[in-house]
């Protein structure tokens, strides 16, 4: 399949497979723009939430640490967390990461079923 890619597609594939964020540059941005970053954080802004929330996060996310999902779940009003899943099946907005074992697949399917069940109740 890879041999059938156009040159631009091959370049994009290489970028997706081999890129990692520049952690030093990210830290510099975080130090410089602390107030702006706080304004886009969900921390302290979820108290009025009335919907159930299903938090899905990639264990190997190179951009946003998995701990953010746990913090978000913790910040939700009592009884509003539908489910929390941190899984190696996804990374940052894409499938991938470590080798997938059947239990990880089952957890993801279960998470999706919980979300779907909650949607059907509404």
Would you state the torsion angle of the CA atoms of residues 97, 101, 102, 107, taken in this order, to the nearest 10 degrees? -50
pLDDT of residue 100: 66
- Residue 111 and residue 79: Cα distance in Å, rounded? 17
Using CA atoms, how far residue 101 sits from 30, 97, 108, in Å, is 35, 12, 11
CB 75 within 8 A of CB 41: no
- Residue 64 and residue 40: Cα distance in Å, rounded? 13
Residue 31 φ/ψ region, left for φ over 0, alpha for ψ in the -120 to 50 degree band, beta for the rest: alpha
The ranges of the chain with pLDDT < 70 are 15-23, 26, 92-100
- Residue 116 and residue 52: Cα distance in Å, rounded? 12
pLDDT of residue 16: 66
pLDDT of residue 76: 94
pLDDT of residue 88: 86
Domain residues for 101? 2-121
How many domains are contained in the chain?
1
CB 62 within 8 A of CB 96: no
pLDDT of residue 101: 76
Using CA atoms, how far residue 3 sits from 6, 9, 47, 82, 103, in Å, is 8, 10, 51, 43, 33
């Amino acid at each position: 399949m890879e041999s059938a890619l156009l040159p631009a597609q091959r370049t994009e594939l290489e970028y997706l497979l081999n890129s990692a964020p520049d952690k030093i540059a990210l830290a510099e941005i975080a130090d410089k723009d602390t107030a702006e970053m706080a304004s886009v954080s969900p921390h302290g802004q979820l108290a009025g939430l009335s919907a159930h929330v299903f938090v899905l996060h990639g264990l190997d996310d190179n951009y946003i640490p998995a701990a953010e999902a746990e913090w978000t779940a913790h910040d939700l009003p009592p009884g509003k967390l539908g489910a929390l899943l941190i899984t190696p099946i996804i990374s940052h907005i894409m499938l991938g990461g470590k080798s997938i074992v059947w239990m990880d697949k089952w957890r993801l399917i279960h998470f999706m079923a919980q979300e779907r069940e909650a949607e059907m109740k509404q």
